[in-house]
Amino acid sequence: MTDHHSDIDSVSGKSTTGHEWDGIKELNTPLPRWWVICFYLTIVWAVAYWIVYPAWPLVSSNTTGMFGYSSRADVAVELA
């Protein structure tokens, strides 16, 4: 069995993954660094949001978050 990871694309000179469809080989290139950084920042933002704001439903209520924010309280104030 041949090692497809050592194949080099003749046009770009980059290694391939070994996948080929209709004569088109898939290049083995990493994502751009800015994209990876944005991806990790969105994960950090999501975790921070879960901690700061109410996010998880419980049986009779929900998590209150660090600020204790509640949109129901805003609606009650507006209705009053």
Task: Tell me the per-residue pLDDT of 5-33, one tens digit each, with 9 for 90 and over.
Answer: 568 878 888 888 888 889 888 888 889 99
The pTM assigned to this predicted structure is: 0.59
Phi, psi of 23 (to 5 degrees): 85, 0
- Average pLDDT in the 23-47 region? 93
Select from 25, 22, 30 the least CA-distant residue to 12. Answer: 25
Question: Domain locations in the chain?
Answer: 33-79
What are the C-alpha distances in Å from 78 to residues 49, 71, 72, 74?
25, 11, 10, 6
Above 70 in pLDDT, residue 2? no
